[in-house]
């Protein structure tokens, strides 16, 4: 895999962002390097050690954090009394800005894939003066057409065996309704016998469809009970509310990115987030460069990882960002 060697953080902490939430954060690489923040996917996926490796540790000050309710942040969304009412796109945008200020960073590169690309766009369109560049992968903007493709239509026709497994908690293959709405009732049912299997079914569907070739290890990892329940609950919560965005908002507001350079890395065979969304964003944001590669959706796909590292290497020398 064309990533930099594994590294460990030189600093970690918990940031109080209000409403009872405390976010785990870490810094890796060079404390005097170019600042970059990594926004993980899901929402609800958490950040892992592989994410550190997308940046040259000699040239980057790499900031990672776990978004509300997942990973090492507290409280965890798998808990019986989990309250997601203060876990929205705009709470997370505010969290990123609080983290930037807390870490004493003026401007930083924003790196995000899948849901992380949506959050990166929401942040950059809100705080364009704080972003040096955007590096985005597997573009997702929470348009209804994107959600329907993945949960109610297109993807299921390409992987029917996994579609059937996704529908099992809903009564089987004859289910004819909105999967997102139907799963909401299951995932937030207080009975572990209901929400537990639903969480595993939701997350293993994702794990089975994000790589060009099926990855049994990834599927097993996504089936871990606490991880799967938090991931599924947070994702479903966000998707049920369309990310608290008007349909097409992130692409419609791309004009706010006019002074920001960016690279979009997109898998040609991405079942979760098909290339049409990346193309729509690229057309709305002429300052971006679109790199379409032979791959699926995941960060772990070699062709995707190669282009992401090429992008961060390219921007590493722009210590003060393209506008300075």
Phi-psi region of 44 (alpha: psi -120 to 50; beta: other; left: phi over 0): left
| Cβ proximity of 228 and 205 under 8 Å | no
122: how many CB neighbours lie within 10 A of its CB? 25
- Please identify every residue annotated as catalytic: 114, 270, 297
- In contact, 67 and 92? CB cutoff 8 Å: yes
Task: Map tokens 């990346």 to a residue.
Answer: 278
CA distances from 75 to 31, 69, 83, 84, 196 (A): 29, 6, 9, 10, 18
CB within 8 Å of 143: residues ≥ 6 apart: 247, 248, 251, 277
Per DSSP, 288 falls in state: E
Q: In angstroms, rounded to a whole number, what is the distance separating the alpha carbons of residues 8 and 14?
A: 17
The residues, ordered by sequence, that sit 6+ positions from 44 with a Cβ below 8 Å of its Cβ are: 67, 69, 70, 77, 230, 231, 232, 233, 234, 235
């Amino acid at each position: 895999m064309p990533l930099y060697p594994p590294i460990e953080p030189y600093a970690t902490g918990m940031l109080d962002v209000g409403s009872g939430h405390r976010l785990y954060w870490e810094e890796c690489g060079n404390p005097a390097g170019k600042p970059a923040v990594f926004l993980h996917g899901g929402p609800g996926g958490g950040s892992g050690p592989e994410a550190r490796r997308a940046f040259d540790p000699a040239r980057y000050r790499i900031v990672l954090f776990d978004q509300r309710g997942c990973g090492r942040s507290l409280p965890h969304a798998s808990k019986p009394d989990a309250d997601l009412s203060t876990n929205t796109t705009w709470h997370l945008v505010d969290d990123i800005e609080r983290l930037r200020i807390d870490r004493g960073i003026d401007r930083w590169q924003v790196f995000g894939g899948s849901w992380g690309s949506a959050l990166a766009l929401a942040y950059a369109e809100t705080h364009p003066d704080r972003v040096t560049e955007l590096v985005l992968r597997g573009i997702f903007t929470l348009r209804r057409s994107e959600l329907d493709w993945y949960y109610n239509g297109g993807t299921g026709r390409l992987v029917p065996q996994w579609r059937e497994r996704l529908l099992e908690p809903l009564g089987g293959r004859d289910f004819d309704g909105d999967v997102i709405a139907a799963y909401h009732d299951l995932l937030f049912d207080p009975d572990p016998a209901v929400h537990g299997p639903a969480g595993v079914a939701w997350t293993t569907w994702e794990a089975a469809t994000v790589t060009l070739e099926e990855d049994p290890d990834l599927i097993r990892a996504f089936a871990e009970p606490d991880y799967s329940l938090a991931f599924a609950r947070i994702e479903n919560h966000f998707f049920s509310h369309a990310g608290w965005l008007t349909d097409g908002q992130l692409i419609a507001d791309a004009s706010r990115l006019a002074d920001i350079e960016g690279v979009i890395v997109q898998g040609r065979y991405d079942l979760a987030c098909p290339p049409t969304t990346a193309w729509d964003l690229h057309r709305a944001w002429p300052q971006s460069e679109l790199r379409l590669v032979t791959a699926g959706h995941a960060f772990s796909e070699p062709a995707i990882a190669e282009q992401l590292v090429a992008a961060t290497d390219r921007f590493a020398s722009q210590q003060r960002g393209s506008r300075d």
